[in-house]
Amino acid sequence: MNHHPIGIFDSGIGGTSVWKEIAAMMPLEDTLYLADSRNAPYGERTGDEIIALSVKNTEWLLSKQCKIIVVACNTATTNAIAYLRDHYPLPFIGIEPAIKPAALHSQTGTVGVLATKGTLASRLFSTTSKNHASHIRIVEQEGAGLVSLIESGRMDSVETRELLKKYLLPMLDANMDHLVLGCTHFPYLMPLLREFLPDHIKIIDCGEAVARQTFKLVRDSEQLSDQGRPGRHTFFTNADPGVLNDILDSLPGIKEVSYLDF
């Protein structure tokens, strides 16, 4: 047994789409979430900058005695998780675009990937594509500007709608039948995506798969909590907590949000 919290960090509020799956699957576990919104979006930063920010986030979560860290950010995973695993003794769970299941089930032979520049340019993304999708066409689309709009709470703004239509058009023209969301912020655009895309196109994000992997790792390492009470969920952000509060208000569970000068 290990009653210490599961640590989660992201470049902002997007990783809450992963947190909610973890909290649902592991209801007795405490969680500690760090939103580095002041430095978002990570996808526009260099690889060295992303590693440095990921190290800073990890060190802070370690200071809070987290027993495992979920890197709830595609860009941080693809650029920094190998470094983190090499330099810290605790387990890390990462996130990468779910190309493999999309490639396996595509009927048209074309899969769209909407992600940040940092994810699309990473070595891990390239390796994953070659290993699991060499037989299909992948249409990569950088979602420039979307993370900043989501971080400011403008998920359904005119600007968001215009950008999303612009980014989806090349993938629709290529006859994709699966759209992979390569950023944990993007599930918050699901209402717009469902509005813009034909019904036959399957949208894939990795939140549930990450939660399953987190549960398996904690269980297999005999670190499951058994405190006899629901988990406590604490969130820290280094930006205006208003948008984070708004998102969390729509999700189940008791949560506490605090500003952190970090």
> ω into residue 41 within 30 of 0, thus cis?
yes
What's the Rg (C-alpha) of the chain?
18
- Asked whether the CA dihedral 251, 256, 258, 262 is positive or negative, the reply is negative
> What is the arrangement of strands in the sheet containing 92-93, beginning at the earlier edge strand?
92-93, 68-71, 6-10, 31-35, 233-237, 255-259
- Catalytic positions, written as ranges: 73, 183
How confident is the model at residue 251, as a pLDDT? 78
Distances (CA, A) of 58 to 94, 101, 253: 13, 30, 25
Tell me the sheet residues that pair with 180: 113, 204
Closest CA to 164 of 121, 187, 196: 196
Q: What is the Cα–Cα distance from 125 to 117, expressed in whole angstroms?
A: 11
pTM for the full predicted model: 0.92
Give pLDDT tens digits along the chain (262 positions): 778 999 999 999 999 999 999 999 999 999 999 999 999 999 999 999 999 999 999 999 999 999 999 999 999 999 999 999 999 999 999 998 899 999 999 999 999 999 999 999 999 899 999 999 999 999 999 999 999 999 999 999 999 999 999 999 999 999 999 999 999 999 999 999 999 999 999 999 999 999 999 999 999 999 999 888 899 999 999 999 998 999 898 777 778 999 999 8
Q: Which two tokens stand for residue 230?
A: 């629901």
The whole-angstrom separation of Cα 127 and Cα 39 is 27
pLDDT, residue 58, reads 98
- Neighbouring CB atoms inside 10 A of 70's CB total 29
Backbone dihedral angles phi then psi of residue 44, each to the nearest 5 degrees: -100, 5
